[in-house]
Amino acid sequence: MWTTEKTWFDSLLIRLFDGVTLGILGIDNSGKSVLCDFILTQDLKHGVYTSTSTRNEIKIVQIRKDKKTIRLKHIFDVGGQTDLYNLKKSTFTSSDYIIYVLRSDLIINEEKFVSQCSSQQEQEELNEAKRRHRNALAADFEQFKYWRQNIPFWEQKKPSQIIVVGNHFGITDEQDNIDENSVPSFLDKKTKSLYTRNFRKCCEEITSYSDEKVKIKWVAGSLASSELAKQLVLDIIEEV
Ligand SMILES: Nc1nc2c(ncn2[C@@H]2O[C@H](COP(=O)(O)OP(=O)(O)OP(=O)(O)O)[C@@H](O)[C@H]2O)c(=O)[nH]1
Ligand SMILES: [Mg+2]
């Protein structure tokens, strides 16, 4: 597990010297705020957040896992709505790391991971949700490209790394409980690696983003249960 505890001395170090900025961006309703809160509290809370209509700022955070320490001056959790253009832009161009969250279940096409629909109407709704999600992904990365190319030369070019996080949603029952069995078994390394490869391939086809100065990493998992969420965060920490 990781810890977010820190001493006053850690806080001072982060404030004065080596804290970096982490921006959490992505498609709306994809789990950004749940993920951000889970990283900070290790307590998975579903259904308590309403859509983020602005940018939440969390200051001075330290994440420690084994010998790795990540010192953050700011975490910005930005709502995914399209009208937050300016906040997204300033977060993107001022963050050292970007975590970009999307629903991988609406992106991947590998048959064994794709959700099954029982009726034609359900299938049509799913197809429409997929179409919208893919368009939103393509549009976001188009903007990233544009923002990177148009930063004035006297401003430092950021970010240095984008971690694309695929959150496989899974099916919710009438009581709003998520059925863990409707999510691929990300705790199994082989399954996770096959899924991640497919997820990456599908995203690359949709975005065709390339920028030699920005490292892109791919992490796939789910926030459907605490166990899965823990694994997802550990995989993200590994990539930072
Ligand atoms: N079934 C399922 N629901 C999830 C999962 N992750 C998040 N949710 C739910 O999806 C809804 C949206 O989650 P948020 O974390 O608020 O999403 P967000 O990306 O911050 O949304 P915006 O701030 O509006 O862009 C909440 O009701 C969550 O409980 C998941 O892995 N599976
Ligand atoms: Mg949010």
DSSP string, 136-180: HHHHHHHHHHHHHHTS-TTSPP--SEEEEEEE---EE-TTS-EEG
29 lines ligand 1 (CB under 6 A): yes
The pTM of this model reads 0.95
pLDDT in the model for residue 217: 96
pLDDT in the model for residue 145: 92
pLDDT in the model for residue 76: 96
Residue of the CA atom closest to atom 14 of ligand 1: 31
Residue of the CA atom closest to atom 13 of ligand 1: 31
Contact by Cβ (8 Å): 22, 58: no
**Which CATH number fits the domain 8-239, given the four candidates 3.40.718.10, 3.20.20.20, 3.40.50.300, 3.40.50.2300?**
3.40.50.300
| Cα angle value 151/236/82 (rounded, 5°) | 45
Residue of the CA atom closest to atom 29 of ligand 1: 46
Pocket test for ligand 1, best of 40, 46, 85, 132 (most atoms within 8 A of CB): 46
For residue 12, is pLDDT > 80? Answer: yes
pLDDT band at residue 64 under the 50/70/90 scheme: very high
Residue 99 CA to residue 36 CA, distance in Å, equals 10
Residue found under tokens 């029982």: 118
Residue of the CA atom closest to atom 21 of ligand 1: 29
pLDDT in the model for residue 100: 98
pLDDT in the model for residue 110: 74
Pocket test for ligand 1, best of 25, 27, 29 (most atoms within 8 A of CB): 29
Contact by Cβ (8 Å): 136, 144: no
CA of 119 from ligand 2 middle (Å) equals 31
Residues contacting residue 120 through CB under 8 Å, at least 6 positions apart: none
Q: Report pLDDT digits (tens) over 195-218.
A: 999 999 999 999 988 888 889 999
Residue of the CA atom closest to atom 26 of ligand 1: 47
Domain spans of the chain, in order of start: 8-239
For residue 117, is pLDDT > 80? Answer: no
pLDDT in the model for residue 96: 94
10 lines ligand 1 (CB under 6 A): no
Q: Report pLDDT digits (tens) over 37-49.
A: 999 999 999 987 7
Contact by Cβ (8 Å): 93, 153: no
